[in-house]
Structure 1
Amino acid sequence: MPSERVSRRRWIRVACFSAHAPQSLLVLLAVLASCPVACASHPPPDVLAATRDVLAGLDEFGALLLGAGLPVEAIPQGHSVSPVQAERLRRYFAIRPYLPQQYAPRFVADELLRYVEQHGQEVSRWDLGRMVQAYCNLFLLRQDGYLAAALTGEPAQCVGPVEVRDDGAGAGAFEIGEFYTRGDGESWRRTDRPNLDKL
């Protein structure tokens, strides 16, 4: 008794020959089947490869700059940041507009870049990454009246409209340019900026 597989093949053959397709059509189908598919043989160019590679290798300092509004292609490469690079980045941040969420990371980035400038020599990305960590529990008052996480700009609490004062600007007991930390419960207190020389 023929197996089921042999029986199927026979029926396929019978179906093909009973269709009486023109010989030229069968030849054309055979040629098309043997050619590689155009899309498979020529994949589209990987236009975002450079961006993907930069993001894949991003360290703490690079992530801070990205959160501060620096384009991916402008993030400095290499194992250290020189005073010249720091000065250029500070100039870039000084003239570029920013979103409210970018204010706090930009403020922190400016502090670190100023440190590199004043240090007078290259600072390793590893050291800069350690310095970034010193800001992880700190908050800054944004111009829209929100206390925001220093590293991400994520709003934590609205404390009221910001007003211009004789000695700066602020909302209630909070001032723009000062760091705050959350104490027990929901209470906030002002704190000193990290001492980067001791990190």
Structure 2
Amino acid sequence: MPSEPRSRRKWIRVACISVRPPLSLLLLLPLLASGPVACASHPPPDALAATRDALAGLDEFGALLLGAGLPIEAIPEGRSVSPVQAERLRRHFGILPYLPQHYAPRVVADELLRYVARHGQGVSRWDLSRMVQEYRNLFLLRQDGFIAAALTGEPARWVGPVEVRENGAGAGGFEMGEFYTCADGESWLRASRPSLDSR
């Protein structure tokens, strides 16, 4: 009887010796254990960091282009916009599909880009951002029949289905391509286009 517990101990000892890890694995364990801590102290870069940084650095003109449906990577960098850049952006808008909310900001962006192209030399981003402010209280009729804010494309009121007319297209008393203001939320008046050449 006393020999049986001894034989069990012997087999347990033999089993432990046979599964003893190699020395190289024992040396590797501390390195493996420190891995997650090292990774946590240096997280991988954010996948959208470049886009986030570009959005954080947008001025009023850049935000207008973005609202008009231009991809963030196509927004020009630098302190001014040249006539060549303006024409390139206009061509970009010509081939890009757009949603209804892009229409009004795209009209404003096109006006500013045509101004830069006519100007014959670069126009500073600061001046363009000031010009954007001239449109802040203006509205345009969209193709879906909504009067929308010129800078954001946000719909303010549905006026009816747009139909083709002799001199263009419109709905109710509104014409496509014309600017409107609304002082009291009910009365809409046609507004004159901001004068960009007086700058």
Normalising by structure 2, what TM-score? 0.82
> What is the CA distance between 1:96 and its match in structure 2?
1.3
How many equivalent pairs are there?
177
Corresponding residue SS for 1:102: helix
Question: 1:36 is aligned with what amino acid?
Answer: G
CA deviation string 1:74-109 (max 9, x = no partner): 100000000000000001101211000000000000
Corresponding residue SS for 1:157: strand
Task: Map 1:6-155 onto structure 2 (within 5 A).
Answer: 31=30, 35-37=34-36, 39-40=39-40, 43-155=43-155
Larger radius of gyration: 2
Task: Report the CA distance shift for 1:33/1:47 in structure 2 as closer, same or farther (over 3 A).
Answer: closer
Task: Report the CA distance shift for 1:33/1:89 in structure 2 as closer, same or farther (over 3 A).
Answer: closer
> What is the CA distance between 1:152 and its match in structure 2?
0.1
Q: Which residue of 1 aligns with 2:191?
A: 191
Q: Distance in 1 between matches of 2:31 and 2:117?
A: 65
Give identity over the alignment, percent: 75
Corresponding residue SS for 1:197: coil
Corresponding residue SS for 1:198: coil
CA deviation string 1:115-173 (max 9, x = no partner): 00000000000000000000000000000000000000000000000000110000010
Question: 1:35 is aligned with what amino acid?
Answer: S
Superposition RMSD on alpha carbons, in Å?
Answer: 2.2
Normalising by structure 1, what TM-score? 0.82
Q: Distance in 1 between matches of 2:188 and 2:159?
A: 11
Q: Distance in 1 between matches of 2:91 and 2:32?
A: 60
Corresponding residue SS for 2:51: helix
Corresponding residue SS for 2:35: coil
